[in-house]
């Protein structure tokens, strides 16, 4: 069951996703509600498990890899477990999502160079059961509200 969020909850969440350290008074002013209401809303969102936690997002200047890429993978089902196990042990694997549509998985890789990316793509493409890969190199992030 999907939790119900009203317009105020959505506005508070959007502000916190952009900056989790935003002072409660700033949130209250931007949303147009009382400071104590913001505190109560955040506490309720935490209690309901909608806000799972807070963390630090490192500056891209320090940790941004030279190359990030999305890789669409089409895989024979009987080989999916071995592929997932292999990708899980790769430090370059950032995310792996099962998706609907013409591909089976969407992989995000972060590599220190295009040479590393090229080598990994060759290794992944040569695995048993991998029918096809389609890669798009990420040029820039225009919006980033991703989880930490």
pTM of the model: 0.61
74 to 41, 59, 101, 107, 130: CA distances (angstroms)? 43, 33, 10, 11, 6
116 contact partners, CB below 8 Å, separation of at least 6: 67, 92
Instruction: Return the domain boundaries, the chain.
Output: 7-47, 60-137
We find that the CATH architecture of domain 7-47 is Orthogonal Bundle (1.10)
pLDDT along the chain (148 residues), means of 10: 81 89 95 96 93 74 74 97 94 94 95 94 96 94 70
**What is the CATH code of the structural domain delimited by 60-137?**
3.30.70.920
């Amino acid at each position: 069951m999907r939790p119900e969020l009203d317009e105020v909850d959505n506005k508070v969440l959007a502000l916190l996703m952009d900056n989790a350290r935003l002072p409660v008074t700033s949130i209250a002013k931007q949303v147009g509600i009382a400071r104590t209401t913001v505190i109560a809303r955040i506490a309720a969102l935490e209690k309901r498990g909608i806000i799972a936690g807070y963390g630090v997002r490192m500056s891209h200047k320090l940790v941004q890899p030279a190359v990030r890429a999305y890789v669409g993978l089409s895989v024979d089902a009987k080989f999916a477990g071995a592929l997932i196990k292999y990708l899980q042990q790769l430090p370059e694997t950032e995310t792996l999502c099962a998706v609907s549509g013409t591909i089976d998985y969407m992989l995000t890789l972060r590599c220190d160079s295009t040479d590393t990316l090229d080598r990994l793509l060759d290794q992944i493409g040569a695995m048993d059961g991998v029918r096809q890969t389609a890669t798009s190199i990420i040029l820039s992030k225009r919006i980033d509200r991703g989880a930490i």
